[in-house]
Amino acid sequence: MSNAIGAVAAERALPAGGGAVIELGGGFGSGAEALLARLDAAGRGAAAAPYRFTELAPMFLRRAERTLRARFPGRPLEFGALDINRPFGEAGIAPGAYSLVYGVNVVHIARDLAATLGEIRTALGDGGMLVVAECVRPFAGRPVYVELAFNLLGAFRDAVLVPGWRPNGGFLTPEQWRSALEANGFADVAVFPDIAAIRKVIPQFVVAAISARRA
């Protein structure tokens, strides 16, 4: 579900003429596969050029590279390690190099969300877009069912908290995402689907893509 919603939002966010894309915390590559397949289906197979796939865990990175190179031969794919909790320059990411930064179920893990959003902003060129597909907390302070296991992870417990938009580690509400992005140099924030509009009727729907433009 996150991959499908994220792919729709990311395809929309990519400029008509295409551009360089970097994915964060790509895991085994299922999010990249969904986005690249969606671009193919839209006749925009060459739009993500290059598509730089990054991940922290070397084993995930190796497996994703094998899978994606086999699935999309000839595509300008790049692979490299990147820790979203470290300056992206350490991973060889040049300022302003990307049109789209993409992440599926990863940016909420950031220990210091302001610092990570700052690195993402620096990696984007003028008008560049960030799209994150995330499990979204429908109501502030109310746990989401998948958190029972995730709460055991340090990333959920050790986050730098910020009143107003980072009251807890882990998942954020749509309003907290909006505030976090606006407080850290992004504009035109959109949440798809509009969780705030549907949460009273379908509180169990907790997946959304959040997009924002580098201000």
Ligand X SMILES: C[S@@+](CC[C@H](N)C(=O)[O-])C[C@H]1O[C@@H](n2cnc3c(N)ncnc32)[C@H](O)[C@@H]1O
Return residues touching ligand X (CB under 6 A): 2, 24-27, 30-31, 55-57, 60, 82-85, 104-106, 109
- Give the CB-side neighbour count of residue 179, counting CA atoms within 13 A: 11
Question: How many angstroms separate the Cα of 191 from the Cα of each of 84, 174, 180?
Answer: 22, 7, 13
Q: Which residues contact 82 (CB under 8 A, 6 or more apart)?
A: 24, 54, 55, 56, 88, 91, 93
Q: Which of 88, 101, 81 is nearest to 19 (CA)?
A: 101
- Of the two residues 84 and 195, which places its CB atom closer to ligand X in the complex? 84
- Of the two residues 160 and 187, which places its CB atom closer to ligand X in the complex? 160
Report the largest interatomic distance among the alpha carbons of the chain, rounded to a whole angstrom.
Answer: 47
The C-alpha angle 186, 188, 193, rounded to 5 degrees, equals: 115
Measured CA to CA, the distance from residue 53 to residue 22 in angstroms comes to 6
CB of 126 to ligand X, least distance (A): 25
Phi, psi of 86 (to 5 degrees): -125, 160
CB of 103 to ligand X, least distance (A): 7
Q: Which of 109, 93, 47 is nearest to 72 (CA)?
A: 47
CB of 69 to ligand X, least distance (A): 18
CB of 65 to ligand X, least distance (A): 13
- Of the two residues 24 and 77, which places its CB atom closer to ligand X in the complex? 24
Which residue number has the CB closest to ligand X? 27
- Of the two residues 77 and 106, which places its CB atom closer to ligand X in the complex? 106
- Of the two residues 20 and 56, which places its CB atom closer to ligand X in the complex? 56
- Of the two residues 118 and 196, which places its CB atom closer to ligand X in the complex? 118
**Sequence-ordered strand ranges (E) for the chain:** 19-24, 48-55, 77-81, 98-104, 124-135, 186-192, 207-214
CB of 81 to ligand X, least distance (A): 8
Residue reference for tokens 């820790």:
83
CB of 187 to ligand X, least distance (A): 25
